[in-house]
Amino acid sequence: MEKILIWNINQRAGYGKSDYPKLVLDSFDKELDIIIFTEFYKHSDWKNTFSNDKYLFEASNNGDNHNEILIAYNREKYSKIGDKYTWKSDYDKDSPDYLDICLKDNFGNIFVVVGTRILVNYYDYNNANRLNKEMEARARQGEKIRNRINTLQKKYKIIGGGDFNVGRRNNQNEYWSKSVFEGYLSDKINIVMPEGVSHQVYKGTEYAGCPDLIFYSNEIDVDVYPYNWNFVKDCKDIYVDGKLTKEIPAPYPDHAQIIANFNFNKNC
């Protein structure tokens, strides 16, 4: 089995300290085969900072003062096929953060890794009109992701995920929710919201967020762990109340990790 990590690392387009916390860099010392960071920011020396003997990297190209997607992959297990695919993200143009790369493993399996994040604007949950307007904007971004994934799945196996900003676990907004996104996609793609909570845990089970999702093709067997907050134990001066901490400053991650084992289905 191989292992993938998907994590919003809360760089906020470089807001805050101009470095990466050790707990983020420690990801490259774990037994992970593919790493997807959303809300990643290209600090001036990021390539040298991330450079290591285990992983190769690709990042989106959104430009200065913007968040990016970063995908790292085990250089001994995978080789990249062709060029990365990305676009410039822009909330006003309904364009989310997005990056995908095509990999081939040592057994000849060819698949595409996708990382993405739906961009958000400010809104008020208590104002139905503003809430729906915001969710409609997110849905338009989701449609762009949908079109790309549905095109890819005709030719490739797919695994990936990111921050879809679908809100709370029980969110059933008619414009944007996990169920809406599922309805966009081919029935050959599975979408999983792990057990637990991935954002604003202090709000409790009903109101805390679960914006982070993982998706994958039927041809891939995937075992998804509950949302993982174990990293807070390594930085108790920031996460003073553990995963319940309210104010988490950039650049310390304010979302849980998605971790999953995956393997290519031998029957497909």
Q: Which CATH number belongs to the domain containing residue 31 in this structure?
A: 3.60.10.10
pLDDT at 133 over 60: yes
Instruction: Kindly indicate the confidence band of residue 124, based on its pLDDT and cuts at 50, 70 and 90.
Output: confident
pLDDT of residue 12: 85
How many domains does the chain contain in total? Answer: 1
Instruction: Kindly indicate the confidence band of residue 266, based on its pLDDT and cuts at 50, 70 and 90.
Output: low
The per-residue pLDDT for range 155-176, each reduced to its tens digit, is 999 999 999 999 888 888 899 9
Domain range enclosing 13: 2-264
The per-residue pLDDT for range 9-50, each reduced to its tens digit, is 999 877 766 689 999 999 999 999 999 999 999 988 899 999
The per-residue pLDDT for range 201-232, each reduced to its tens digit, is 999 988 899 999 999 999 999 999 999 999 99
SS (H, E, C) the chain: CEEEEEEECCCHHHCCCCCCCHHHHHHHHCCCCEEEEEEECCCCCHHHHHCCCCEEEEECCCCCCCCEEEEEEECCCEEEEEEEEECCCEHHHCECEEEEEEEEECCCCEEEEEEEECCCCCCCCCCHHHHHHHHHHHHHHHHHHHHHHHHHCCCCEEEEEEECCCCECCCCCCCCCHHHHHHHCCCCEEEECCCCCCECHHHHHHHCECCEEEEEECCEEEEECCCECHHHHHCCCCCCCHHHCCCCCCCCCCECEEEEEEEECCCC
pLDDT at 234 over 70: yes
